[in-house]
């Protein structure tokens, strides 16, 4: 069996970028019979940003519900909260930290980017890629489907696992990133990378009115209604084309180039496309967020299953470290 692993942080509500860049590709892979998938909520990672217990719990429920709503079969695969298996994840993190060159972390793009933007630049943010490496190697994952923004982190996971193996023997499985080049970094409402923590995201599970409002908040330039517009630099067009079929995209492109078609029209069309495309997902999401018992049951079962594997890896690692 090939093991596929993906985590999503509980730093906010799961958004269109997460769904197109990570959730849907991961679910597609989980449906192939040769694969077994580990999909988890990276709620330990989220502590680098979220310092409110209720908010963290609500985000965790939202992310977990999104996985299930998008069609993940939790019974056949592994579905868990990182925090419920914290002893294994954090123990392995320490072992890996001792194999990680300090400059590798200091030069991480994502750390630099976040430390420039955020007021709370904590050490957890700095060591974030090492916890991520531990998340991956703990389950001997072979492939990690991620968005392009995670490319460097995955390189670091490989380097760290490789360094460990060079010191202690071939104990850890070296993971490979799976990056679908056709899925770009999805832009947020302000034009920069859509991120939970930048508050520029579109939550496709919002009630209709709020969803429309959020789509309407997408940045656009001041080209007048009657003038032709450049689809290739416009965020609304980009998002639309990522979800629409070829014919719909071609029509939208013509609308832009023709003029007389405003950004307001395009945003309305994008909103309608989201509602149509994710109709079933939106319904299921509401079911899981309302019936927290059903959600909790799936997670608890998944956590028991995942713990068995994690325990085994930790035992192997402890042995080679000289701790048995
Ligand atoms: P945060 O702002 O807290 O880092 P995030 O929105 O970047 O949150 P993550 O939990 O860090 O989301 O990432 C989860 C997965 O979603 C990763 O595989 C990542 O590559 C993917 N992803 C996140 N944002 C985007 C985006 N804008 N476009 C494509 N994929 C994305
Ligand atoms: Mg991120």
Query: What is residue 78's three-state secondary structure?
Result: strand
pLDDT of amino acid 40:
97
Q: For the packed helices 263-277 and 235-243, what is the interaxial angle rounded to 10 degrees? A: 30
> What was the pLDDT predicted at 22?
86
| Cβ(302) – ligand 1 distance below 6 Å | no
Evaluate whether 7 touches 40 at the Cβ level (below 8 Å). Answer: yes
Write out the E strands in 97-185.
143-145, 176-178
Distance 163 CA to ligand 2 centre (A): 25
Q: Which CATH class is domain 206-277?
A: mainly alpha
What pLDDT, on the 0 to 100 scale, is given for residue 29? 93
The tokens describing 314, both together, are 């930790």
pLDDT in tens, 260-305: 999 999 999 999 999 999 999 999 999 999 999 999 999 999 999 9
| Ligand 1, atom 5: closest residue by C-alpha | 195
Q: List phi, psi (to 5°) of 41.
A: -100, 120
* Residue whose entry in the numeric block shows the structure tokens 């190697």: 137
Residue 134: Cβ within 10 Å count: 27
Residue with CA closest to ligand 1 atom 6: 195
Q: Is the distance from the beta carbon of residue 147 to the nearest atom of ligand 1 less than 6 Å?
A: yes
Show me where the domains of the chain are located: 2-185+292-321, 206-277
Measured from the CB, is residue 22 less than 6 Å from ligand 1? Answer: yes
The fourth-level CATH superfamily of domain 2-185+292-321 is HUPs (3.40.50.620)
- Of the ligands numbered here, which is closest to the C-alpha atom of 185? 1
Residue with tokens 């954090």: 90
What's the confidence (pLDDT) of residue 14? 93
pTM value is 0.91
Closest ligand 1 atom number to CA of residue 15: 6
Low-confidence ranges of the chain (pLDDT < 70): none
Q: How far is the CA of 130 from the centre of ligand 2 (A)?
A: 14
Answer whether 21 contacts ligand 1 (Cβ < 6 A).
Answer: yes
Whole-number pLDDT of residue 173: 98
What is the model's pLDDT at position 252? 98
- The reply to whether ligand 1 has any atom less than 6 angstroms from the CB of 214 is no
Measure the CA angle with vertex 290, ends 288 and 293; round to 5°.
70
The confidence score (pLDDT) of residue 181 equals 78
The alpha carbon of 321 and the centre of ligand 1 are apart by a number of angstroms equal to 34
Atom of ligand 1 nearest to the CA of 7: 14
Find out whether the beta carbon of 275 lies less than 6 Å from any atom of ligand 1: no
Compute, in angstroms, the gap from residue 233 CA to the centroid of ligand 1. Answer: 22
ipTM of this complex prediction, to 2 decimal places: 0.97
* 57-60-65-67 Cα dihedral, nearest 10 degrees: -170
The structure tokens listed for 58 are 């609500």
Calculate how far, in angstroms, residue 149's C-alpha sits from the geometric centre of ligand 2. Answer: 7
* Ligand 1 pocket, residue 17 CB under 6 Å: yes
Q: What pLDDT is recorded for position 204?
A: 98
């Amino acid at each position: 069996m090939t093991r596929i692993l993906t985590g999503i942080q509980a730093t906010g509500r799961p958004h269109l970028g997460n769904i197109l860049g990570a959730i849907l590709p991961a679910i597609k892979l989980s449906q192939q019979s040769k694969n077994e998938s580990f999909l988890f909520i990276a709620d330990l990672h989220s502590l680098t940003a979220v310092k409110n217990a209720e908010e963290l719990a609500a985000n965790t429920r939202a992310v977990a519900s999104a996985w299930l709503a998008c069609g993940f079969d939790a019974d056949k695969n592994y579905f868990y909260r990182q925090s419920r298996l914290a002893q294994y994840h954090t123990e392995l993190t320490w072992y890996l930290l001792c194999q990680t060159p300090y400059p590798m972390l200091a030069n991480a793009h994502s750390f630099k980017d976040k430390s420039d933007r955020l007021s709370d630049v904590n050490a957890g943010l700095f060591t974030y890629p090492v916890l991520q490496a531990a998340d991956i190697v703990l389950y001997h994952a072979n492939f990690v489907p991620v968005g392009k923004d995670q490319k460097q982190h995955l390189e670091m996971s490989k380097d760290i696992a490789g360094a460990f193996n060079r010191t202690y023997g071939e104990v850890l499985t070296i993971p490979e990133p799976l990056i679908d080049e056709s899925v770009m970094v999805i832009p947020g409402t302000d034009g920069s990378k859509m991120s939970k923590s930048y508050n520029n995201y579109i939550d496709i599970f919002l009630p209709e009115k709020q969803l429309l409002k959020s789509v309407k908040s997408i940045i656009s330039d001041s080209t007048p209604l009657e003038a032709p517009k450049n689809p290739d630099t416009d965020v609304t067009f980009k998002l639309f084309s990522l979800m629409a079929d070829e014919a719909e995209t071609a029509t939208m492109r013509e609308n832009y180039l023709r003029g007389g078609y405003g950004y307001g029209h395009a945003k309305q069309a994008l909103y309608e496309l989201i509602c149509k495309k994710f109709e079933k997902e939106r319904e299921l999401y509401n079911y899981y967020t309302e019936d927290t018992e059903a959600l909790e049951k799936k997670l608890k079962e998944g956590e028991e299953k995942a713990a068995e594997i994690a325990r085994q890896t930790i035992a192997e690692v402890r042995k080679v470290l000289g701790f048995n």
